[in-house]
Structure 1
Amino acid sequence: MRSSPLTEIELKLEISPADLEKIALSSFLGQPAATRELHSVYFDTGDCRLFDNGFTLRIRRSGEKTIQTVKATGSNASLFARSEWETPARTNTPVFDYNSPLLNRFGPIERDLVVQFEVVTNRRIWNLTEGTSSIEVAADAGIVMAGDRQAPFHEIELELKGGDPRQLFALARKINAIVPVKIGVQSKSERGYRLLSAMRNAAKAEAIGLEPRLTADEGFRMIALSCFRQFRLNETLLLQMGHAGSLHQARVAIRRLRSALSLFKPLLDENAKRFSDEFRWLANTLGDARNLDVLLLKAADGELWEKLETARKGSYAKIVEALASDRSRALMLDFNEWLLCGDYAKHPDGEKPVEDFAAKALDRMRKKLKKHGRDLAEIDDEHRHEARKDAKKLRYAAEFFAPLFADKRGLRRYKNFNKAMEALQDRLGALNDLAIGHDVLKQYGIEETPEAQKLIFHADKKQLIEKAQTALDDVLDAKKFWR
């Protein structure tokens, strides 16, 4: 029983149940070439050791055919590429041969494996030609089951069987013109693990794990795709639950992404500016609601709270409209095509080691913060806000690149540097809330009430500036972990 490594190039599209039926029954796809019911059982150790190390193990039954599959995250951390090892299965119990990556990685762990969750999928398949490319289209309607928990899903998977990856996006745009779709970032196994742990909280940034062997171009793509994944996970929760934490983390994801575009600007083609501008539009759309969320946390129950809550509901309605818009959906497709197909990589320096690029970029960001934050007491709120943005960019850059400098000295210096950066962001954030609070209340015509004044004059501005300056000086005094 010999395992065979495969590499899939695919694009996953999330879609509503009604729209899935609409596109599946449309003349655009025609009659499906095949219809299947898939029953997948996912195994892991009791402490989910496989998943925590980037592997999944399933046994899938489809008709008379049963296949055991091990999947691993793609080496370039792409949303669209991953490695697979498939073997025929005679029973519903996992069996490893000497080629199995799990046996090589974890040793003989078969006895430690238990069923974690199951996935039942009704799949319809079409084989299409787009340009010169062959693409398999799979429309999936299914349910994930973990104990007494269940969660339905509906998605379309476009798998490139041969040809140009750009044609995946050409086909996706044609589908998007018929029914609205969003790029999916969760595999079925991830859905199962999230259901298993009842993960309904906002998704924070995941570790990226850059390695010195990577080029600067490869490093950028890993970072950008990680930021995009964080955004999409939170967008889904935001639309489902209207949760303030998901809104906040969606904005964080966009800020991290725009910071990456700024950091790597010298290496990127002219489309980088367009994408940065479009993501800024999206961030601004989310901004009003986030500002209202911050004020609501401070407001006491009463008339002011009710006015703020009414304004918040209006802002969230605008967010839903923006995220569903043609502009937003087109942005996501265009941006991911740019990344997946390598169109961003135009500069010869992109082939140089990411470690060399990182050190220079961090020097540049630190120098910019030093320039704009030289004397916070002598500049106005607008310029202090610029210093705050510089601080965020430097912190995000440090988080992106820290794994490249992970020797003993680098780790020690990064810990001290990051601690100083956290303090600086807290101080500058308090100043920003003070500056923005009045503008937000004025925007909704409620700034003159006594209750409103208490919200925005809760702190000594001069004292906050002094603390921010001290924190900024601490950052500049911290030893560079990248040198």
Structure 2
Amino acid sequence: MTVDRHLPAAEVLRSHLAGNFATLGEQEALVRSGDASAIHKMRIAARRLRTPLQTGQPLLVVPTDALVDELRWLGRELGGARDAQVLRERLRHLLSTQPPELVMGSVDVLVDDELCAAEQRGRAQAIEALGGTRYARLVDGLDRLVRDLPATEEADGPADEVLPRLVRRELKRLRRAVGIAEQADAGEANDVALHVARKKAKRLRYAAEMVVPALGRPAEELAASAKGVQQALGEHQDTVMSRRFLRELGARAHLDGMNGFTLGRLHAIEEARAAAAVADFERAWGELKDKTVRTRRGG
């Protein structure tokens, strides 16, 4: 990638907005056509659109909270189908690795039926949201912002002087979130705190990626380290969702007189995976926590 250290900060924000806004529209059309992978890609575009609105808010003369909230809403509307899809693929693979003698009953069919139904409900919810006035207003608001980005005078300055402090703010947010997670009690409180830290890591990653055209390798390295933290915590969150599903499905299977041995076994495996994910996170965080990006003048 070509690095332009004199690129105006406002241009970095505008370019990021425009690119991801275009992606959002492209993926919307594919979601409507039934493309199974498009919901995930559209959800990512919505998340990436929040980056210039949140990280870059100090450089904009209008508040962006409303648009950020609407993009979060869109992510939730798209999330049902995607979450079910991810969990279905995860448990399918896990079941396929189990010794046949330890898979008791039609567990694969039970899991598949539950999650296929959840995915279809989520897809219907997403299509309904995309056809509504709320989404239309969101698209209109984003379009107006992309066409006429209302930036401050500071935003006209060189991006490699203006943007590093905004990225460092995201790193500080992640450090605070990790500190809270480290102090949280084991169990649900810790799971929630790690999930919050994961979202902060993702926000830092996207902010660092956004400024790569102006900052080059330091931003790339920070983004890569943040991605490592995000992925480790993402694996942990996947085990949280999987264990919750398996516990609820196991309780219902027991009430229906089914053998819940295999569901319990899968739950235990996911507990072990959760512990491994935390260890991976601690290693990744050790590599990231002291990183930073600086201005051309070292500030």
1:383 deviates by 1.6
Q: Contact 1:376–1:469 at 8 Å: present in 2 too?
A: no
Residue 237, structure 1, aligned to residue 30, structure 2: yes
Q: Contact 1:248–1:290 at 8 Å: present in 2 too?
A: yes
> In structure 1, what is the equivalent of residue 120 of structure 2?
313
1:422 deviates by 3.0
Residue 276, structure 1, aligned to residue 68, structure 2: yes
1:299 deviates by 2.9
262-271 or 221-230: which moved more? 262-271
> In structure 2, what is the equivalent of residue 138 of structure 1?
none
> In the alignment, which of 211, 227, 248 is matched to residue 422 of structure 1?
227
Letter in 2 for 1:404: A
Q: Contact 2:20–2:46 at 8 Å: present in 1 too?
A: yes
Q: Deviations over 1:76-115 (max 9, x none)?
A: xxxxxxxxxxxxxxxxxxxxxxxxxxxxxxxxxxxxxxxx
The structure-2 alpha-carbon separation of the partners of 1:221 and 1:241, relative to structure 1 and needing over 3 Å to count, comes to same
The structure-2 alpha-carbon separation of the partners of 1:232 and 1:453, relative to structure 1 and needing over 3 Å to count, comes to farther
1:464 deviates by 2.3
1:291 deviates by 1.0
Q: If each structure's helix is expressed as a fraction of its own residues, which one has the higher value?
A: 2
1:270 deviates by 4.0
> In structure 2, what is the equivalent of residue 366 of structure 1?
171
Residue 382, structure 1, aligned to residue 192, structure 2: yes
The structure-2 alpha-carbon separation of the partners of 1:276 and 1:434, relative to structure 1 and needing over 3 Å to count, comes to same
SS class of match (2:179)? coil
Q: Distance in 2 between matches of 1:328 and 1:296?
A: 28
Q: Contact 1:417–1:481 at 8 Å: present in 2 too?
A: no
Residue 251, structure 1, aligned to residue 58, structure 2: no
Q: Contact 1:292–1:440 at 8 Å: present in 2 too?
A: no
> In structure 2, what is the equivalent of residue 86 of structure 1?
none
1:419 deviates by 3.9
1:452 deviates by 5.0
In structure 1, runs of 5+ residues without a counterpart are 1-206
> In structure 2, what is the equivalent of residue 159 of structure 1?
none
> In structure 2, what is the equivalent of residue 472 of structure 1?
285
Q: If each structure's strand is expressed as a fraction of its own residues, which one has the higher value?
A: 1
Q: Contact 2:27–2:41 at 8 Å: present in 1 too?
A: yes
> In structure 2, what is the equivalent of residue 297 of structure 1?
89
The structure-2 alpha-carbon separation of the partners of 1:479 and 1:336, relative to structure 1 and needing over 3 Å to count, comes to closer
Q: Percent identity?
A: 24
**Pairing 1:57-68 to 2, within 5 Å after superposition:** none
SS class of match (2:163)? helix
Letter in 2 for 1:263: T
Letter in 2 for 1:227: N
1:395 deviates by 0.9
1:317 deviates by 0.7
Letter in 1 for 2:162: F
Answer 1 or 2: higher relative contact order, Cα 8 Å, separation at least 6: 2
> In structure 2, what is the equivalent of residue 351 of structure 1?
156
Q: Contact 1:247–1:290 at 8 Å: present in 2 too?
A: yes
Q: Contact 2:23–2:42 at 8 Å: present in 1 too?
A: yes
Q: Deviations over 1:348-403 (max 9, x none)?
A: 32222222222111211112212221374432222211211111111111111122
Q: Contact 1:242–1:316 at 8 Å: present in 2 too?
A: no
Q: TM-score, normalised by structure 1?
A: 0.51
SS class of match (2:5)? coil
Letter in 2 for 1:251: R
Residue 392, structure 1, aligned to residue 196, structure 2: no
1:286 deviates by 0.9
Letter in 2 for 1:252: I
SS class of match (2:87)? helix
1:271 deviates by 4.2
Letter in 2 for 1:470: R
> In the alignment, which of 208, 213, 234 is matched to residue 6 of structure 2?
213
Q: Distance in 2 between matches of 1:368 and 1:324?
A: 35
The structure-2 alpha-carbon separation of the partners of 1:221 and 1:440, relative to structure 1 and needing over 3 Å to count, comes to farther
Letter in 2 for 1:249: K
> In structure 2, what is the equivalent of residue 337 of structure 1?
144
The structure-2 alpha-carbon separation of the partners of 1:421 and 1:320, relative to structure 1 and needing over 3 Å to count, comes to same
**Pairing 1:179-218 to 2, within 5 Å after superposition:** 211-218=4-11
The structure-2 alpha-carbon separation of the partners of 1:333 and 1:414, relative to structure 1 and needing over 3 Å to count, comes to closer
The structure-2 alpha-carbon separation of the partners of 1:447 and 1:289, relative to structure 1 and needing over 3 Å to count, comes to farther
Letter in 1 for 2:55: L
Q: TM-score, normalised by structure 2?
A: 0.79
Residue 405, structure 1, aligned to residue 215, structure 2: yes
Q: Distance in 1 between matches of 2:242 and 2:110?
A: 17
Q: Distance in 1 between matches of 2:90 and 2:265?
A: 9
In structure 2, runs of 5+ residues without a counterpart are 93-107, 185-189, 254-259
**Pairing 1:425-436 to 2, within 5 Å after superposition:** 425-436=230-241
Residue 326, structure 1, aligned to residue 118, structure 2: no
Q: Distance in 2 between matches of 1:455 and 1:295?
A: 13
Q: Distance in 2 between matches of 1:447 and 1:363?
A: 45
Paired residues, what number? Answer: 266
Larger radius of gyration, structure 1 or 2? 1
367-376 or 228-237: which moved more? 367-376
SS class of match (2:211)? helix
RMSD (CA atoms):
2.5
1:481 deviates by 7.2
